[in-house]
Amino acid sequence: MQLFFQGIENATTWTNLVYCLIGVTIGMLVGVMPGIGPVSGTAALIPLTFGMDPLSAIIMLAGIYYGAMYGGTITSVLINIPGESASVITCIDGYQMTLQGRGGTALGVAAIGSFIGGVVAIAGLATLAPALAKFALRFGPVEYFTILLMGLMMLMGLMGRSIVRGLAAALIGLLLSLVGMDFVSGESRFTLGLLQLERGIDFVPMALGLFGISELLLSLEEKINAAKPAQLNRLLPERHEWKPTMKAIGRGTGIGFLIGLIPGANAVIASLISYTVEKKTAKDPSRFGKGAIEGVAAPETANNACSGSAMIPLFTLGIPSSPTIAILFGAFVMHGLTPGPTLFQRNPDFVWAIIASMLIGNIMLLILNLPLARLWARVAMIPYQLLFPFIMVISIIGAYSLNNSLWDVGVMLVFGVVGYAMKKLDFPLAAMILTFVLGRSIESSLLQSLILSDGSLAIFFSSPLSSTFMTISILILVFSVVGGLRKKKIALSDSEI
């Protein structure tokens, strides 16, 4: 508790409050605007934080991440355009509520639910993370490798429709991470004699290309015509609606929190599952799709709870569970911090200040959202042909500013093509970026394990923990392959909603 109050003290300095506000505001903008998501928004700003204090930098970047969840809701509800992928589900009932003249209520419920989900997730982070981090200190390279493997298997099992494509993307990401100097042997690997590759491929231009440029290109294919946002009247539900709304928020919080802990299960899945649960538990499921208030409250709460709890694997185990968290992982490393169990030990002030700033950021977002909702929605009305060249220039500057090198801009554009092709052919981008970010950790823990065992793979079944993680990994792989062979879709289809 003392550490938490210390964290609040550190997070509430004027500098950190300003950076928190900047982060959540940019996050709102990123969430509202189609064509740019939290991954590319965060990645583009990382180089700009180099001169900043690490705490302020992470506060701002984390603010973008959870701010985008709030921002995506506004356009989903008011103009039926999801600004961010996790808000797709909210369009279903949210926009219907707007058509019924209840857009304000939808936004109010979404904001309250997001706030509650976010705060509960932060409370969970504050409660569970220290204990989990202490437990994880017992991990050796064997346990670390097996938990990484399990996390990646979960990711591949959940993302995309083809385990083969997921594995291919993941292993290529792993190979790309090995380019550059090998710190164990001192060898320069796969550099093609190029000086720029001695330090490896930087993840910022790679992420900007894979997620940012590819998304810009995909958005160019569609014509996004935003209608004028409707008038907002009442912001809160009717008296008789409070009880079902709060129940939906409660369920959404639980579902989102649990899903956020699972690598690969991102906020989209959390909001999808939450919506489905609400529909299945409702007394009158036919209301869903026609403006059911629970259809807005539950998914919005779930996606915010998920984004908060996703920080737990990052802080305690050093495992990013989604592409945006992977970018945050990279930001930590760039600022000289190593996410994982030792972070709580070596930098407790830093960790608790981040947790406190997330609470403050959620309060800021609640205030920013409700009175200014219509203003935010107007941002989405900016014609895309006006917006996307501007986003492209920001992305170029973001890539360039990493090393003040046009090489990184070129890398970004190449990965833009790669990301576009991957999206068209259903290769999951998340698998590639996550293994890329974790690649060196995977290699070093694997090598250390094999050195300890004189090359025997049996070491991965030597301890109860590692055996458990390996068994789960194998089961996930087997079920995914079997599921693929039976042509079963792992993700819920539209017809089930």
Which residues here bind other proteins, judged by CB under 8 A?
47-48, 51, 162, 164-165, 167-168, 171-172, 174-175, 178, 182, 184-185, 187, 189-190, 216-217, 220-221, 383, 385-386, 388-390, 392-394, 396-397, 400-401, 404, 406, 409-410, 413, 417, 420-421, 424-425, 427, 443, 446-447, 450-451, 454-455
Q: Is residue 69 within 8 Å of residue 86, measured between CB atoms?
A: yes
Q: Which residues pair with 181 in a beta bridge?
A: 188
When the beta carbons of 2 and 404 are compared against other proteins, the nearer one is 404
* Separation between Cα atoms, residue 72 and residue 300, nearest integer Å: 10
Minimal distance, residue 175 CB to other proteins, in Å: 5
Q: Please identify, using beta-carbon distances, which residue of 275 and 460 lies nearer to other proteins.
A: 460
Tell the smallest beta-carbon distance from residue 81 to other proteins (Å): 18
Q: Which amino acid is at 479?
A: F
The three-point CA angle 203-208-212 to 5° equals 150
Tokens standing for residue 212: 């940012």
Place of tokens 């279903």: 92
Q: Which is nearer to other proteins, 105 or 219 (CB)?
A: 219
What string of DSSP letters covers 376-403? HHHHHTS-HHHHHHHHHHHHHHHHHHHH
The nearest distance, CB 290 to other proteins, in angstroms, is 33
Report the residue count for the chain.
Answer: 497
- Output 145 or 288, the one with its CB closest to other proteins: 145
Measured CA to CA, the distance from residue 276 to residue 28 in angstroms comes to 26
Beta bridge partner(s), residue 327: none
In the block, residue with structure tokens 């950190």: 16
Which of 404, 495 has the CB closer to other proteins? 404
Q: How far is the first Cα of the chain from the last one, in angstroms, to the nearest whole number?
A: 42
Give least dist CB 164 to other proteins, A: 5
Nearer CB in complex with other proteins: 102/165: 165
Q: Could you tell me if 337 and 79 are in contact, meaning their C-beta atoms sit under 8 angstroms apart?
A: no
Closest contact distance (angstroms) between CB of 409 and other proteins is 6
- Distance of closest approach, residue 157 Cβ to other proteins, in angstroms: 16
* Cα–Cα distance for residue pair 466/464, rounded to 1 Å: 6
Element (H, E) at 189: strand 188-189
The minimum distance between CB 165 and other proteins, in angstroms, equals 7
As measured in angstroms, the least distance from the Cβ of 18 to other proteins is 15
Instruction: Return the number of the residue (60 or 92) whose C-beta is nearest other proteins.
Output: 60
Our CB check for other proteins shows the closer of 137 and 457 to be: 457
CB atoms within 10 A of CB 475: 13
Smallest distance, other proteins to C-beta of residue 384, A: 10
Instruction: Give the C-alpha distances (Å, rounded to integers) separating 206 from 2, 398, 418, 436.
Output: 40, 11, 10, 10
| Of residues 173 and 256, the one with the C-beta less far from other proteins | 173
Closest CA to 270 of 431, 30, 491: 491
